[in-house]
A and B are shown apart, each in its own frame.
Chain A
Amino acid sequence: MAHEHKLAIFRGAVKFKSNVSKIWGVFAFLSIVTIVEVALGIIRPEFLIDTRFLALKLLNWIFIILTIVKAYYITWDFMHMRDETSGLRRAVIWTSIFLIAYLVVLVLIEGDYIFEVYKSGFIKFDF
């Protein structure tokens, strides 16, 4: 990659003139996302807490999606993944995404199962 950067973000919707202005633009975007997260975390709107999707509160889905959005822009623009070859990008991203998603799904299902055991069983708190 070295000296050339791809300067468009949001699938080409925003195009910056230089790499430095792109960095500041991404920083502004990350800040806005963080402020939204913190505001939601403080207000905790009732309907987002009471509504559930796939056993998780809607609010938590919003947090997780915003986190992944932030992770995307940190990796793509701060770590210059946007400028790397597709081979390196896939080796890093696909490997991690697959392994992490696999682990998280298995482990959370197991945790939920043990919760049910506690709830309907005799064991009170510790194991």
Chain B
Amino acid sequence: MEATVVKTGTEGKTWGGGNQPLKASYGKMMMWFFIVSDALTFSGFLASYGFSRFKFVDAWPIADEVFTHFPFLHGVEAPMYYVAFMTFILIFSSVTMVLAVDAGHKMKQNKVILYLFLTIIGGLIFLGSQAWEWATFIKGDYGAIETKGGQIIQFLDKEGERVAIRDFAAINDGDRIPQTRENGLWFAEDTEYLPTVSFEQVKAGFLANDNLLVRLQHKDEHGHHIILSREESIAKVVNDGQLVVEGANLRHNEYGHPLFANFFFFITGFHGFHVATGVLINIIIFFNVILGTYERRNNYEMVEKVGLYWHFVDLVWVFVFTFFYLV
């Protein structure tokens, strides 16, 4: 082999090869450039969220009205607190990760094990919290009516408090008969989306109860939802109402525009997927550290590279938190 090596006479010069101008290893640099491309992906999603929000800026649901629950506190209005908790969990797991990287630089195997373990626990708590957040959002709480134009109308009493549709819907006006192929049109399937009460029941209950008003998604100039008078409310429900919506899914969203739910599921889901893979990679690295792989390799740079990814996941959450829950 040596015989074929040709000296170029440029050794040691800038373009002579063998230089590392960025003073970073290949793996770390590639992790950085992967992070750049992933950051562009996420900003594409968040920008399209902003686009849709600006399109419907006078009717977009505000997170304060949507995410008002806290585990084990039923019926307590607690906007923001739960996501704030999730944010702290993720920032704290970032701290334990960077402590693990620091312990790795000092070649302290046991400390790396401890901090990586805490990081994994933090990641798992975050994932569990997000699952709970999703479940609450999908389940919904008050329910609403969707109009023929695709808008959401919600119900209030005269004091301005929200009223759940299941509390006033007239339940006992006949059982619902499911559509089957045998009786009726052979090509018509039964509806996929089946709330607990039907639109007719909600309409009957609404007409019977003089105390109920309708609130629109559209806002006045002060940012408050427009509340209709009793007469306008009746006209709205009778003329425009079409469908009962409970909770949120990809087609209907009782809190407002369905796009809000779509973006929420997509962006927090994609972020949650990143957290899940981050936890998985952390677990692999964790076992490598226990087995002494990096001790034998005599450097812990792999912990640092995985740490970069983990911090990036935290970084993305900082932005998701701002644009979904604060702004």
Chain A residues with CB under 8 Å of chain B are 1-3, 19-20, 23-24, 27, 30-31, 34-35, 37-38, 40-42, 44, 49-50, 60, 63-64, 66-67, 70-71, 74-75, 77-80, 84-85, 87-88, 91-92, 95-96, 99-100, 103-104, 107-108, 110-112, 114-115, 118-119, 124-126
Which of A49, A87, A112 lies in contact with B21, CB distance below 8 A? A87
Shortest C-beta distance, A2 to chain B (Å), equals 7
In this complex, which of B22, B48, B307 has the most chain A Cβ atoms within 10 angstroms of its Cβ?
B22
Which of A2, A92, A110 meets B33, CB within 8 Å? A92
Tell yes or no: B64 within 8 A of A by CB. Answer: yes
Q: Does any Cβ of A come within 8 Å of B98's Cβ? A: yes
Q: Which of B82-108 contact A (CB under 8 A)?
A: 84, 87-88, 91-92, 94-95, 97-99, 101-102, 105
Main SS at interface, chain B: helix
CB within 8 Å for A34 and B52 given contacts A41-B64, A74-B315, A104-B43: no
Nearest residue in B to A34 (C-beta to C-beta)?
B87
Tell me whether A107 and B50 are in contact in the complex, defined as CB-CB below 8 angstroms, given that A30-B91, A92-B32, A100-B40 are known contacts.
yes
Assembly CA distance A49 to B35 (angstroms): 35
Given A23-B95, A107-B51, A108-B47, 19 other A-B contacts at CB below 8 A? A2-B105, A20-B99, A31-B88, A38-B84, A42-B80, A67-B318, A74-B315, A75-B311, A79-B312, A85-B24, A95-B36, A100-B39, A108-B51, A110-B51, A111-B54, A112-B57, A114-B54, A118-B56, A126-B150
Q: Provide the bound-state CA to CA distance between A97 and B326, in Å.
A: 22
Count how many chain B residues have C-beta atoms less than 8 Å from C-beta atoms of the other chain: 60
